[in-house]
Amino acid sequence: MDNPDLIIEALLFASPEPLTQQKVNMLFEDNPPNLEIVSERLSQRYLMQENAFEIQNVAGGYQLRTKPEYDLYVRRLLNKTGQLHLTQAALEALAIVAYRQPISRSDIEAIRGVDSSGVLKTLLKKSLIKIKGRDEGPGRPLMYSTTDEFLQAFGLSRLAELPKLKEVADLMEDQPALTEQIDAFK
């Protein structure tokens, strides 16, 4: 077996939520290491090496965390990179714009079934969508499309890299409510 301390270290680094003994037990076929003991050993090593991070016992598990004295710099980094926090409504509207652009607010609302003016303002403010122009139809409504910031936030180089709706539908077959929402896009 590989070095269990290094495996646990890699798991702590990669895990978005606290790592628990139960998760460790599921990942090792035989003789899973004791997470508490390994975490203590790693913590001692990090302390001796004067690293900028430490292992903390959080929410019933263990997690790598930046030491408090570096908190200011980490916050600055996350604020500058614009860590994305979107509501479910904003994600729905953004997905509709991404797949159907350019699209008007009324068309977005027809798909979502609710007023979308607030979420569109939020998406505009976050520069994830932009006003592409006006439709030629009655009232000449504004048309929305995604921005380069949208591509950057989702790690795409171009819109063609978005998963096809059929691919998403195939993944969601066991969740009928999501399938109905995807069908509304088509």
Do 70 and 93 belong together in one domain?
A: no
Name residue 14's beta-bridge partners: none
Tell me if 58 is assigned to some domain: yes
pLDDT band at 4 (very low <50, low <70, confident <90, very high): confident
Do 124 and 58 belong together in one domain?
A: no
Question: Contacts for 127-131 with beta carbons within 8 Å, 24 or more apart?
Answer: 128/94, 128/153, 129/94, 129/97
Do 53 and 100 belong together in one domain?
A: no
pLDDT tens digits along 103-145: 999 999 999 999 999 999 999 998 999 999 999 888 899 999 9
Top-confidence residue, 150 or 79: 150
Tell me if 165 is assigned to some domain: yes
Tell me if 82 is assigned to some domain: no
Do 92 and 180 belong together in one domain?
A: yes
Which domain does 111 fall in, by range?
A: 88-185
Do 104 and 128 belong together in one domain?
A: yes
Q: Where are the alpha helices (DSSP H) in 28-70?
A: 35-49
Tell me if 130 is assigned to some domain: yes
